Structure formats: structure tokens, C-alpha cells
Amino acid sequence: MNKNIESVLISEQKLEKIVNSLAKQIEKDYNDKEFIMLGLLKGSIAFMADLMKNIDLDFRIDFMVASSYGSGTESSGKVKIKKDTEFEVKDKNILIVEDIVDSGNTLNFVCNYLMTRGAADVKVVTLCDKPTRRKVPFEPDYVGQVIPDEFIVGYGLDYDELYRNLPYIGVLKRSVYEN
């Protein structure tokens, strides 16, 4: 295990089960509906790669970069769109793929932004959810796992751009970000 990881929160095997189950729900709900799967970079990369391979439907994918974090562990509250969608979202059904919902600032902002641009429908699938940390009301449509108030990394999630490559999700040692 990586020396900066306190403990494994979601193992590789568990991740596979969670992702399969989310894929099956999405496949059922979008069976007769065109949609664009919109990943929020960079955190969603591992999750989205596995999720999309398990959805047996025809859909397009796109990416956005929105950021509210610096290099710390707290959301600044100000969300900036650093990279917009490639496709026109007007009249489209959008399924946003996110790694984790924390304060809710990012998704609250991005969902409103897409609706303002005329999207027909915006839904969110998130791998992890920390509902106890919400600062603005936000409820994802599909949640992989509700997690306690710990800073986690791996499977796409980072601290200071590190640990995204870990194949599991682990709790980061506090000594890494506290001193």
C-alpha cells in the first residue's frame, strides 16, 4: 500500500461491484433516451472509464473542467469553468460523471450552468458522496457510496494532483496535509 495511505476505504473488488451496479441502473433508465455522458476532469477519469464500458447503450462522451479547489482540502466556494463542453448541450440529456460530492458547490454551479445553456435534462452520477459536508443543497441522482468526513484519494481522486493512479480508494494520512 502507498505509504501516505492510512487505510483502504473502497477496495478494487468493491469498486468493481459499485460501478457495475451503477451501470445497470443507468442502462435501465436511459434505455430509450439519447444522452451525453459528461465527465468532470480530472477526478472522474478512472470511474468514467470503467462505468462507460459497462453501459451497453449508444451514447456520446464529453468533458468539462470545473474547479473550486486549490491545493488544500477545502472548497473555495468559487467555481470556475476552465474547459467547457465540446458539444452543444441545448436540448440534450446530460449525465454528469463526478468523483465525489462534498460541499456541493461544483455540481450546483455546473448543473445550473448547463440548464442555463438549455440542456433538456441534467442528471448526476457520483462515485462517492459526503452528504454531511454540504454547504449548498445538492442531491446526486446516482450515488456509488456514501462516505464519512475523511479526505480520500485514489481511483482518480487526488491530493495536490497526486494519488490519482491508486487502484483503490484510501483515506489519506492527516500528516500529509496537516502540520
Known catalytic residues are 102
Degrees, nearest 5: CA angle 136-125-131: 35
43 or 140, CB closer to Mg ion?
43
58 or 149, CB closer to Mg ion?
149
Among 64, 92, 98, 140, binds ligand IMP (CB under 6 A): 98
- The yes or no reply on residue 154 touching Mg ion (CB under 5 A) is no
- The yes or no reply on residue 85 touching ligand IMP (CB under 6 A) is no
Name the pairing type of β-strands 142-146 and 121-129: parallel
Q: Which stretch binds Mg ion (CB under 5 A): 4-12, 18-26, 41-49, 163-171?
A: 41-49
Q: Which stretch binds ligand IMP (CB under 6 A): 27-35, 45-53, 81-89, 97-105?
A: 97-105
**Site residues (vs Mg ion, CB under 5 A):** 43
